[in-house]
Amino acid sequence: MSIYTPTVATFKAFFDRGQFTYGDDITSARDSDITEAISEAEAVFNPDLYPVDTPDIGTKAEMYLTAHFLQCDIEACDSGGQAKNQQVSRSADGVSESVNIPDWMKQGDFALYSTTYYGQKYLLLSRPYLGGAVFVVGGATQY
């Protein structure tokens, strides 16, 4: 467990504007579902990526990562386990919709997280800490 690990109560308080329906029916999030999502998030979350002086960033990142796993589980339950793929475009009755996600989110290890709104928010919060900076400093050594 990291300093950012949410509890069921803190998760529900963070997502209290109707993002999730809490209850026992098939499309609702149960406490056990939230606990499982926290466990899954902990398995891939790296707390060392986030600055210690601003713990709010790491807390939000782990909340959104937990919400991503919870949303995936709810959608899997609702669809009978069918995989959900990213939608690029669709049209019906003369109305057309196209959704585009930045390429860096769709490539490699990030692709899984770009499938939900919460995963995308996790990536946006984490991106500044995922890449490294390399600098060259001119100079020489003295013998």
**Token representation of residue 140:** 């020489």
- Distance of alpha carbon 86 from alpha carbon 141, whole angstroms: 54
Distance of CA 86 to the CA centre of its chain: 15
Is there a domain that residue 1 lies in?
Answer: no
Of residues 97 and 107, which shows the higher confidence score?
A: 107
CB-based contact 47:58 (threshold 8 Å): yes
Is there a domain that residue 143 lies in?
Answer: no
Q: How far is CA 62 from CA 32, 67, 90, 120, in A?
A: 18, 8, 32, 12
Is there a domain that residue 91 lies in?
Answer: yes
- Distance of alpha carbon 137 from alpha carbon 8, whole angstroms: 48
**pLDDT at residue 100 greater than cutoff 70:** no
- Distance of alpha carbon 143 from alpha carbon 98, whole angstroms: 63
Is there a domain that residue 3 lies in?
Answer: no
CB-based contact 66:74 (threshold 8 Å): no
* pLDDT-based confidence at residue 85 (cuts at 50, 70, 90): low
Is there a domain that residue 21 lies in?
Answer: yes
Distance of CA 119 to the CA centre of its chain: 3
Q: Quick one: pLDDT at residue 88? A: 60
Find the domain containing 77 and state its range: 8-130
Q: Quick one: pLDDT at residue 125? A: 78
Q: Convert the pLDDT of each residue in 34-45 to its tens digit.
A: 999 999 999 888
CB-based contact 9:16 (threshold 8 Å): no
**pLDDT at residue 7 greater than cutoff 90:** yes
Of residues 48 and 143, which shows the higher confidence score?
A: 48
Q: Quick one: pLDDT at residue 20? A: 94
Q: Convert the pLDDT of each residue in 120-138 to its tens digit.
A: 888 877 877 777 666 667 7
What is the mean pLDDT of the segment spanning 19-41? 92
Of residues 77 and 40, which shows the higher confidence score?
A: 40
How many structural domains are present in the chain?
1
